[in-house]
Amino acid sequence: MSISSAIRSRADLLAYLPLAVATTVADVLGRDRTHVSTKVALAPTLAAGVLATRSQRCPKRTGTLLAALAGSTVGDWSMYRSSRATGEASRSHMRMGASAFAIQQLGLVGLLVHDGARPKPLTSAIAATTLAGLAVLDSDGGAPDPVLTGYGLLLGSMSALAMGEGGSPRNGPAIALGGALFLVSDAAIIVGQQYAKTPRARAISSGVVLSTYTAALALLVHGLRDEI
């Protein structure tokens, strides 16, 4: 692929990167309208890139990526609503977001498995240990929420598979980094909810969550767009 062709195939990043920076900075600074409008535009921007380059891959891969990004869009909106609500309303939006993100994770897992990714002991242990720690941290003494637990299992599976792809000849480092950052982002959400009690701490937490999430999404989508 020539340099000009490579640039054209990644043209969506010219719009995505400013959106990622804008939504992160806006949330840190408390610019609510800017934050939500830029956040819900993230996944559709990557979806536009997938559609624009659909001739480069089979229709099934394109459809899977678009379904995953549709889940991302709904999940982003629901998680935003959750962060602006309290109590049971916040939890309800979080469950809706987790359900939407489960679609995203199913798509990513499907592509990883199709491309030959398999669980590896080290990356599986990292994902499982992280999720177990977060489950303890997020526990309120009641029964685990089945929706959030199901999403957590899918996230852990995707992250473990992706992190094990570091040596893959096809975008392996990008996929591995994306899987790791996705795990970090979700971990930062729960850690922030538990420990970010001051405005400064909440701003730092928001910056970590959004910067890692936006980077992870772009790395995974662009890493998995190409046929092996």
Overall residue count recorded for the chain in this entry? 228
Residue labelled with tokens 């049971």? 88
Look over the chain and give the mean of its residue pLDDT values, rounded to a whole number: 91
C-alpha count within 13 angstroms, C-beta hemisphere, residue 122: 7
Is the pLDDT at 3 greater than 70? The verdict is no
61-80 b/e with 16+ CB inside 10 Å = b? bbebbbbbbbbbbbbbbbbb
Q: What's the rounded mean pLDDT across residues 199-221?
A: 95
Q: Which domain holds residue 129?
A: 3-225
Q: How many domains is the chain built from? A: 1
CA dihedral sign of residues 183, 219, 12, 152: negative
pLDDT tens string 64-89: 999 999 999 999 999 889 888 888 89
Q: Is 97 helix (H, G, I), strand (E, B) or coil?
A: helix
| pTM metric for this prediction | 0.91
Residue 142: pLDDT band with limits 50, 70, 90: low
For residue 166, the model assigns a pLDDT of 76
More confident residue, 84 or 38: 38
Residue 138: pLDDT band with limits 50, 70, 90: confident
CA angle, residues 156, 160, 164, in degrees to nearest 5: 170
pLDDT tens string 150-205: 999 999 999 999 999 977 767 889 999 999 999 999 999 889 988 888 999 999 99
95, 103, 156, 221 from 109: Cα distances, Å = 20, 10, 10, 12
C-alpha distance across the termini of the chain, in Å: 14
Q: Which three-class secondary structure string do you get for 70-97?
A: HHHHHHHHHHHHHHCCCHHHHHHHHHHH
Both tokens of 209, joined, read 């969550």
